[in-house]
Structure 1
């Protein structure tokens, strides 16, 4: 196994790599032992372990469980689940923590881990510390393993937390990922006319890549919505913690506009609501939420850091451009659950009587790009961003620079963003402006600086 790749699997938000080239059962066992040792030191007695449908996930889950129990910590094995189902388990069964074997939306040859210590998702140095296995063998009695099926309880929990008009018709696409474990059950329990695509979990992902943030992966869903004339369509990523939505016309609703729908609903439901958006989100998310009476916070991109910020701020809602949506407050636990987000959208449609396009009808038109990714090696990408940031300050002294995560450069009539991806060897760019002409100008100016920064 490639030693360098073995170290590169420890990412900012999770652990992820190509099976057999950086990550294997032996590595997963060692990570499980390190996690178990840390959990034990914090007083944990029992943690949850789940797995997605990838071809290596069952073996990886067994290795992970062996590593954890070998440090004297009990494991509640919740079996084949989505990532939000793991969070549900952590919040309701094993508050000391939990781990799921998943590589989210990555191609089939990948696998990895998402981890919680207590009810908080691990990130940054907390994850990187697991690269060092504990010294020696644990002298404690090996932890016990208990198998538990949580699907029914999870479905009941979701159904009891929303008010959706029965008989609503819509389409949904699980992409052969973990969303298919619970989505059909939930929709049936609520009496909805849900037309499902690719609901059978299959780690080969035979129909399309399970990433709803890429429009080509929504082609089947768009076709279904248009041919069946359904109310809307929703799609889940591989581990069902991100959602993509198309409206009644089959038009894709970008992640930040979907977040805006929820932000405005939250602001209207609670005076002084607190809303968080990541640095990739449209300026409209912040401006219109504040106009509706909410307090807004712009924060770093990443599901783990967003969940932590939501908890620290006691915020009511958080949203990312990528489709991670976080519902806090009294109704939910502050974590990202694509199925729950879909139900909340159906709830808004039910109570307003509006179609999805109508929910955004009064939103001013801005011109924006999707998320743009430029290949950039892991070992230089952060340096490139820092070099670009210095050049941006010099060239655009009139601009406001928000540097909590890369550089978001805000002008009177638009903005541009450059940041280093925390999950890929790439730079992430996005641009937005009041006119197409200005959008092109901002993009050209920043891309020229970035190209120069790569050569420095």
Structure 2
């Protein structure tokens, strides 16, 4: 038995651990996470864990504390150093590690940090994360001698693996934006090895994120990239989030391709090689994506939102490709089934560079034109958000509409569809509406507002 340790109640989340450094997350928490995670690995007859960290100013201290905790359980710890989260996933996969932990705050503000984990080659989330709290609260931890830590570089191997699947034909002009996030160095190394002309933005890792926030799902964070694409007369611009597991894409005309639009193009590529394959997308994706996959002869499946949930479902179904609106793209086709934005970039550039007589902008023009809202976020207390969704679901029983309850409620009608779900990571409800007409979109938003009102909420 070890001394008990309690975490701030907000940091043990559904898909990862996340907090504000010095307020809700401390080095002592990192060490406690290492002890509890190591305990689970040891009790599962494991021996070795890989650890990496992102470019945040607080990450080196948290990584060192995490390693101390892991070593105290008798494990061998391989420290792969600073880089993107997918590099840690790659290390854990190729070294056949019993577990892996990435110290990262992902796309959150500079003062935030946290941990993403894999265990036995699978995502570590939900109840498993809560178990870390239980073990520390009870002091039910392994304390063993013989633990070791060593620095191990996988950078060169990871770079070669990324390059391995590039099969473009014509050279491209590409602008890359790492947003000063953890993918910067690997992005620069990758661009240097690819054919064509490459312009790099914010490739220097800087945990203060001086240029813009590293979240490619927010249009304002892509303004610098869009301007640089125009100046360079580039065919494509690629952006990464803070830890390199989410991708953003813009065409030569400065138009943003959202997650479901990216998936339409990638699905064509994958289904050409794997006819009839299942392809997964989250519940926030456009109906046109699911229709497009079906029209190509694929089998679309709508999944709950959340990278851990989608990776788990991919493993269950054998699906070669999956994606989220947030820019997580998962390849099991020629790759390992996790979300790696650098690898997704390689596959995109390969696809674009094999097109003859058409550009990414041409393909954007040919995509289905729909009218939709961005992701709408409605403030709602954590203790209330799931109840509100349940109330709306109950009211919909008599609506006569087609209601899908995979994740919250997604309601289809003649006008299109609308979605309401509870966020697993924030005190908000997430909503989205989509129609083939502007008038239809207005009607859907009115219906959604009408469903929220009896639960005491207003659609902003």
Same fold (TM over 0.5): yes
Deviates more, 1:240-249 or 1:381-390: 381-390
Q: Distance in 1 between matches of 2:240 and 2:413?
A: 35
Tell me how far 1:206 sits from its aligned partner: 0.8
Q: Distance in 2 between matches of 1:221 and 1:393?
A: 46
Q: Distance in 1 between matches of 2:267 and 2:131?
A: 35
Q: Deviations over 1:225-271 (max 9, x none)?
A: 11211011010000010001001111111111111111122122211
* Alignment check: 8 A CA contact 1:276 1:299 kept: yes
Deviates more, 1:39-48 or 1:446-455: 446-455
Q: Secondary structure at the match of 1:401?
A: strand
Give the counterpart of 1:348 among 345, 351, 360: 351
**Runs of 4+ displaced beyond 4 Å:** none
* Alignment check: 8 A CA contact 1:90 1:118 kept: no
Change in 2 beyond 3 A, CA 1:321/1:139: closer
Give the counterpart of 1:143 among 137, 141, 147: 147
Partner of 1:216: 220
Partner of 1:446: 448
Aligned positions of 1:130-209 closer than 5 A: 130-134=132-136, 135=139, 138-165=142-169, 167-209=171-213
Q: Distance in 1 between matches of 2:106 and 2:344?
A: 17
Give the counterpart of 1:285 among 264, 284, 289: 289
Partner of 2:422: 420
Partner of 1:319: 323
Structure 1 vs Structure 2 CA RMSD = 1.7
Q: Secondary structure at the match of 1:271?
A: coil
Q: Secondary structure at the match of 1:91?
A: helix
> Normalized against structure 2, the TM-score is what?
0.95
Tell me how far 1:164 sits from its aligned partner: 2.7
Tell me how far 1:448 sits from its aligned partner: 2.1
Tell me how far 1:363 sits from its aligned partner: 2.9
Partner of 2:32: 30
Q: Deviations over 1:106-126 (max 9, x none)?
A: 000100000000211112111
Give the counterpart of 1:246 among 245, 250, 272: 250
- Return 5+ residue gaps in structure 2 as ranges: none
Partner of 2:230: 226
Q: Does residue 73 in structure 1 map to residue 75 in structure 2?
A: yes
Tell me how far 1:139 sits from its aligned partner: 4.5
Change in 2 beyond 3 A, CA 1:117/1:5: closer
Tell me how far 1:128 sits from its aligned partner: 1.5
Change in 2 beyond 3 A, CA 1:4/1:213: farther
Change in 2 beyond 3 A, CA 1:446/1:139: closer
Count of equivalent residues:
451
Q: Distance in 2 between matches of 1:142 and 1:402?
A: 52
Q: Distance in 1 between matches of 2:414 and 2:317?
A: 29
- Return 5+ residue gaps in structure 1 as ranges: none
Q: Distance in 2 between matches of 1:137 and 1:269?
A: 48
* Alignment check: 8 A CA contact 2:123 2:312 kept: yes
Tell me how far 1:4 sits from its aligned partner: 9.9
Q: Does residue 436 in structure 1 map to residue 435 in structure 2?
A: no
Tell me how far 1:357 sits from its aligned partner: 2.4
